[in-house]
Structures are given as C-alpha cells and as structure tokens.
Amino acid sequence: MKTRAAVAFEAKKPLEIVEVDLEGPKEGEVLVEIMATGICHTDAYTLDGLDSEGLFPSILGHEGAGIVREVGAGVTSVAVDDHVIPLYTPECRQCKTCTSGKSNLCTSIRSTQGQGLMPDGTSRFSYKGQQIFHYMGCSTFSNFTVLPEIALAKIRKDAPFQTSCYIGCGVTTGVGAVVNTAKVQVGDNVVVFGLGGIGLNVIQGAKLAGANKIIGIDLNSDREEWGRKFGMTDFLNTKGMKREDVIAKVLQMTDGGADYTFDCTGNTEVMRTALECCHRGWGESIVIGVAEAGKEISTRPFQLVTGRVWKGSAFGGAKGRTDVPKIVDWYMDGKIQIDPMITHVMGLEDINKAFDLMHAGESIRSVVVY
Ligand code: AHE
Ligand code: ZN
C-alpha cells in the first residue's frame, strides 16, 4: 500500500512529506494506522545525527497511538479495530530479560530494531524502490506502519489518541522512572533536572508517589510555572552557577541531599551534578536523558563508596504490554495529567515546525494528528 510519511532522508535536513510504499504485515506482525504521534527530543537527537544508532533514510517517530487495521498470520494478542500504542521497548514475555522479572528491556528483537529493520531482517518501507529504515521499531511519522505484535500495547477505546500517544514515550518514561525505577516513597525529597517533556512527568510521578519536596531545576525560568502545575514545590534556576554551588544549594534545601534525583537533560555534566546532589549513604540518581554519541559520565568513586547510587531508566522501567494500558487508565481516571502538556497540535505537513518549537524551547509536547 501507499502511505503518507515524513521521511528523514539525511541527518540535519528537514523531514520530507512523501508517499512511501509499505508492505503488509508478515507472520507475527500488525498493520497499524497511526492516529496521532508526539515529537520527542530523541527524534530530534537522531535527526541531528547525534544517535550512534541513527540510520538514514528512515521514518522517525516512536510516540504514537493508533488502530489495528490488519494482522499477519499467527497474531493472537491484538485484532482489527483494537486501539494500540506502539512500544519501542517491546514485551515478548519469553526472552531471558522478560522471564527474569528484573528488567523491562526485552531483548527478543532489539538487535534488528537497532538496525532499522523488522525481526526478519527486512524493512516494510520503501520509496521509489529504495529501502527506508524503520526507527525504534515504531516509525510513527508514517500514517500507516507495521510492528511486531509484541511491540503493541492494547489500550481502552475511549482514550483520545491526541493525548494518549504521549504515553508511548514521555509520560511512561517520566512517571515510570519514579514509580518503577526509583520507587519513590511517601515523604522522600526529589530533585528533577530539566523541566521539559520528561521532567514534568517525573514531577507528576513524584507527586503521585507522595514525595515531600519536589525541587525542579532548569536554566529557563519560564519552566517554574510549568513545574508548579504538576506538583513541583521549589524551583532553582542554575544558569551560570558552578556545580559546587548547585550541590551546596540542593544539600541545604534537602537537609543533606536528595533521596532521589533525576536527570532529564541528557547532559553528562548535569548527570554528575544530579548524582552529587544525592544524600550520602542512600541517595539515588536516575539517568533518563539520552546523551550524544561519544559522551561519557564521571564522578569521584568516593561518591559511590559513600553510598550514592547511579542508575538508569529506559521507558520508565515499564513492561509495555502490561503497564502501558494501566498508565492509560491512570490518565483516564485523572490520576495523572497529559492535556496541559500538549502545547501544540498540527498536521503532518507541519511536522518540521514541531522540531523548531522544541529547539526554541517553546513547546512541551507537539503532537501530529493524521
Ligand atoms: N540509540 C542510542 C540510545 C538511545 C536511547 O537511550 N534510547 C532510550 C529511549 S529514548 C526515548 O525518547 C532507550 O530506552 N533506550 C533503550 C534501548 O534499548 O534503546 C544509543 O546510544 O545507541
Ligand atoms: Zn521519546
């Protein structure tokens, strides 16, 4: 079939809206009509050539919601007309990781996914006879896409696509990092570095968990109002401040250091600061932000010897097929908010504007509706 898609033909070039060819679903695969997709910072980072796994030409986008239109042979967990959220972290329930119960990082299709291909090693997308790569196993910047069934969470039909698509990445990543990875408890003090599309979700996750102080840190004071909307109790603009001064200030505000800190910036210097703002003996720092290819983190080992813990979180530690439908329920039941974070809605033809708004710091989340 033909489908309209925004194609990343080359790094650092605007996406081009074209009609691409899409092959139907093979065994274990599903054709999904994407109804809405968020534009996440990771899409921009890949388009900017900063992802060590970045491939071109490709169809980016990994934060979608849509409707199953056709299922391939052997598909049992979803059916035509089901509403679904694509999962860049699938859940096969059979691999070593899934059966371990210790991690959400299902490994069953990770290697082909990282090569921009379906599990059989081929692509379903092409343009003028040339292969186009899939992206993060999702490619939600195409109106129709094909995914393995293990990469689809079936969700309730009354959830609006325009907002629930955000659960495909940002919401789950932020809220999940708090409740699944850190396991923040009532009364804990939390510090969130970077109040964008992920950080605000960390804030609302911390509020949901019953945190005491929720300190937001950003270089842009406009973000204070945003943070407060979702439960932030204190704000710090650290522009121009030295690392030592930021740490001293946080330690003073938290009676010796935070129980949990979250990096939502992808900046390796900020990651260090976040670790060193943790309380001696037990504070944990969770790295969520995605760093540019080639960047490394460092700290004095003494920071870890004296009990601080450095951890990472991917897709909020959520097991997609199991947890995503529950997060959709949290949203529909009003336990978490999404609507105010969707600052811009546009058609696919305007998708490049979403990238401009993000780079200018003018959006929290832009969503394309098809
Ligand atoms: N491909 C990059 C890493 C990119 C990365 O860390 N991706 C996050 C999701 S970002 C969502 O906005 C992730 O969950 N990664 C887990 C995984 O398996 O990719 C690189 O450095 O190679
Ligand atoms: Zn994302």
Tokens representing 350? 């305007």
Of all ligands present, the nearest one to the C-alpha of 171 is 2
Of all ligands present, the nearest one to the C-alpha of 61 is 2
Cβ partners under 8 Å of residue 121, min gap 6: 112, 115
pLDDT of residue 215: 99
> 2-168+338-369 belongs to which homologous superfamily?
Medium-chain alcohol dehydrogenases, catalytic domain (3.90.180.10)
Q: How far apart are CA 370 and CA 141, in angstroms?
A: 9
For residue 160, give the H/E element and its range: none
Nearest CA to ligand 1 atom 13: 314
308 is a catalytic site residue = no
Question: Which residue out of 29, 41, 145, 273 is catalytically annotated?
Answer: 41
Q: How far apart are CA 205 and CA 337, in angstroms?
A: 10
* 3-state SS assignment for residue 233: coil
Cβ partners under 8 Å of residue 28, min gap 6: 72, 73, 74, 75, 119, 148, 149, 150
pLDDT of residue 2: 98
Q: What is the pLDDT of residues 183-194, one digit of tens each?
A: 999 999 999 999
pLDDT of residue 64: 98
106 is a catalytic site residue = yes
Q: How far apart are CA 123 and CA 266, in angstroms?
A: 30
pLDDT of residue 229: 98
63 is a catalytic site residue = yes
Q: How far apart are CA 302 and CA 248, in angstroms?
A: 17
Ligand 1 touching residue 348 (CB < 6 A): no
Fold held by 174-313: Rossmann fold (3.40.50)
Give the number of other CB atoms < 10 A from CB of residue 7.
Answer: 22
Ligand 1 touching residue 52 (CB < 6 A): yes
92 is a catalytic site residue = yes
Question: Which residue out of 91, 97, 98, 124 is catalytically annotated?
Answer: 98
Q: What global pTM score does this model have? A: 0.98
Closest CA to 63 of 186, 206, 171, 157: 171
Question: Which residue out of 29, 37, 46, 63 is catalytically annotated?
Answer: 63
Ligand 1 touching residue 290 (CB < 6 A): yes
Q: How far apart are CA 331 and CA 338, in angstroms?
A: 7
Nearest CA to ligand 1 atom 4: 290
Domain segments of the chain: what residues? 2-168+338-369, 174-313
Ligand 1 touching residue 43 (CB < 6 A): no
Low-confidence spans in the chain with pLDDT less than 50 = none
pLDDT of residue 103: 98
| Most ligand 1 atoms within 8 A of CB, residue of 58, 88, 89, 287 to mutate | 88
Closest CA to 61 of 79, 81, 35, 29: 35
Give the number of other CB atoms < 10 A from CB of residue 29.
Answer: 26
pLDDT of residue 312: 98
Ligand 1 touching residue 140 (CB < 6 A): no
Q: Taking a C-beta distance cutoff of 8 angstroms, is the pair 83, 159 a contact?
A: yes
Nearest CA to ligand 1 atom 7: 290
